[in-house]
Amino acid sequence: MINSKDIKKLDTVEIENKVKELKDSLLKAKITKLNQGDFDTNSFTKIKKDIARCMTEINSRVED
């Protein structure tokens, strides 16, 4: 995962790209597991929180 120190070093475009990568790769993997009958809601919640943290960082940088 991305450390908060690393996130602060990234510019907004890189953060947005990482969010897209995260959504694409992790969510697709989780959806695949769901389709196979093996889905962990805790992992899904963690992914949503990670995306929310990245979006918060993007929004704070846009406001500056």
Domain ranges, ordered by start, for the chain: 4-63
The DSSP symbol for 24 reads I
Helix axes 12-22, 41-63, angle to 10 degrees: 160
pLDDT higher than 70, residue 2:
no
Q: Output the pLDDT for position 26.
A: 72
Q: Hey, what are 38's tokens?
A: 């093996």
Q: Output the pLDDT for position 64.
A: 60
62's enclosing H/E stretch is helix 41-63
pLDDT higher than 70, residue 5:
no
Per-residue model confidence as pLDDT tens digits over 8-56:
666 777 777 877 787 777 777 777 777 787 767 777 787 788 788 888 8
More confident residue, 3 or 42: 42
Q: Output the pLDDT for position 50.
A: 78
Angle 31-16-50 (CA atoms, 0-180°, nearest 5)? 50
